[in-house]
Amino acid sequence: MPSTPSQDSSFLGHPRGLATLFFTEMWERFSFYGMKALLILFMTGATVQGGLGFDTPTAAAIFGLYTAGVYLSALPGGYLADRLWGQERAVLYGGILIAAGHFSLAVPSKATFFAGLVLIVLGTGLLKPNISILVGRLYASQDERREAGFSLFYMGINLGGFLAPLICGTLGEKVDWHWGFGAAGVGMVLGLVQFVLGKKKLEGPGMQAHRPPTEPLARKIRGQIFVGLGLGACLAVGLGIGWIPLTAVQLANFAAIAIVSMAIGFFAYLLVMGGLDSMEKKKVAAIAMLFIFASIFWAGFEQGGSSLSIFARDMTDRVVGGWEFPASWFQFVNSFYVMLLVPVFAVLWTRLGSRQPSVPVKFAVGLTLLGAGFLVLTRAAQLAETGAKVGLGWLVVAYFLHTCGELCLSPVGLSMVTRLAPERFAGQMMGVWFISMSLGNLLAGLVAGKIVQWSMSGVFFGVAAVCMVAGVLMAGLAGPVKGLMGQGNRADAEMDSTSASSAAGPATEPVGSSSSP
Ligand code: PHE
């Protein structure tokens, strides 16, 4: 019976299928973060050393647009899974495209470099949102293990993210760029093998057989794919050969507006013309509200790779035992903390069971923690701006607070979308959820670009203020958003009232634990 909670608990207390999805996603993220660690270095690397020799603004723009594109493509990726292929096949096709992309990067030529990036963007759009949906489907809608399951899945993501720079980064930088990219491709192939072998274990109470579309509909969708790919190719070529004269920053600003309009358009379309009943409409409205706060969160959080890196490079004393370690090493810190903290959070949510804080309260805590991290950085930057470099403890504490915030928001958000999205729009809803990430990445880049104008401490303080205000707003809106999510009704009444009355208590627990790293 579809609504009976699954009793399967053979993978660390979770359904067996979680192991398959955990390792597939681990390898996918390994390949993604492995090549991401190399990308900027390779593009700006001198041609005599095998790099592409691009200037920094061009490389940064390509990097920003690539990372935004990777998450933006989740919307068509989700759509294709909903309408044409189903989630499982979408993950499989996505993995194949990603592996092909990395191997294309492994070939030393500019054409194969750009082709590789495009293949990875398309493949990730198919794989990433849909694999998250498959995780959600392992659980019945009221199964309290769902969020803990997503936390574990998140650990797989970060295990991949942690190993990647070590392996692909070292190979790429020390041996040959293309070996690094090739290693990323090998990782994705391992993920694919894992997925194909473990696919049988993917049944769960929420798993539904995919209903293939009728032939005319399938033909129409295939037509849309060709038109979409054609337009994308024209745009890329137009930009590449300078027919569309836009600077990198103009392009990023334009992309931000386009992404916001797309998200608004999508939610409006679904609410007005999606044929949803009133219950479904409320849930979609709840996702839309949370989407706004998630975008603000990612715009701050994703500065971990931009303004925080610059702070690490220019203002932090990185000399340990007489040796200065590279600023890029701070990129491990977040993944390391995630692996350390996920078990803590998983136990916390499981222990609290029905008493755990509601999703909007967790979001509010997440934003506040991120804001607190930026306050720490503001003080550090103020000190550094007076002359001497500051100790690395400031960044270590800030990344810790940011990671605690991430764990209150990111896996929780994924889990919430799989629970609330109307079944027939599951892929698209997850796709739109990833757009918050795409937007966040783009905004993070634009905000980090303000360092020169506003000073480092000015930027950090501004981000801290926005996050704190957003956290307070989110907390204020928690009641109405919970109402929209359908809690406070029927069977959820009990869970909701206990979590509401205890929200002030447990909700602050991660804050308390995070203040003493
Ligand atoms: N570290 C996360 C990941 O790579 C960031 C992320 C969260 C990306 C949510 C997309 C959506 O998966």
439 CA to middle of ligand 1, Å? 13
Question: Given this model, what pLDDT does residue 224 score?
Answer: 84
Closest residue by Cα to atom 2, ligand 1, is: 157
**Ligand 1 atom showing the smallest separation from residue 434 Cα:** 11
Question: Given this model, what pLDDT does residue 287 score?
Answer: 94
195 CA to middle of ligand 1, Å? 20
Question: Given this model, what pLDDT does residue 409 score?
Answer: 95
Which residues, listed in sequence order, are joined to residue 11 by a DSSP beta bridge?
Answer: 14
- Single out the residue of 415, 405, 360 nearest to residue 515, CA to CA: 405
Cα–Cα distance between 285 and 429 in angstroms, integer? 11
Probe residue for ligand 1, chosen from 21, 415, 437 as the CB with the greatest number of ligand atoms within 8 Å: 437
Cα–Cα distance between 468 and 278 in angstroms, integer? 33
367 CA to middle of ligand 1, Å? 16
Q: Which protein residues are within 6 Å of ligand 1, measured from CB? A: 29, 71, 157, 410, 434, 437
Cα–Cα distance between 145 and 149 in angstroms, integer? 6
Which residues, listed in sequence order, are joined to residue 319 by a DSSP beta bridge?
Answer: 324
CATH homologous superfamily for the domain 17-504: MFS general substrate transporter like domains (1.20.1250.20)
The dihedral sign for the CA sequence 7, 11, 13, 18: negative
* Amino acid letter for position 161: G
Predicted model pTM: 0.81
Question: Given this model, what pLDDT does residue 57 score?
Answer: 66
Cβ pair 6, 140 in contact under 8 A: yes
Look up residue 14 and give its DSSP letter. B
Residues (pLDDT < 50) of the chain are 1-5, 488-517
Helix (H) or strand (E) holding 500: helix 492-502
Q: Tell me the pLDDT tens digit for each residue of 30-59.
A: 999 988 888 878 888 888 888 888 876 677
Question: Given this model, what pLDDT does residue 359 score?
Answer: 93
Closest residue by Cα to atom 8, ligand 1, is: 437
Question: Given this model, what pLDDT does residue 475 score?
Answer: 96
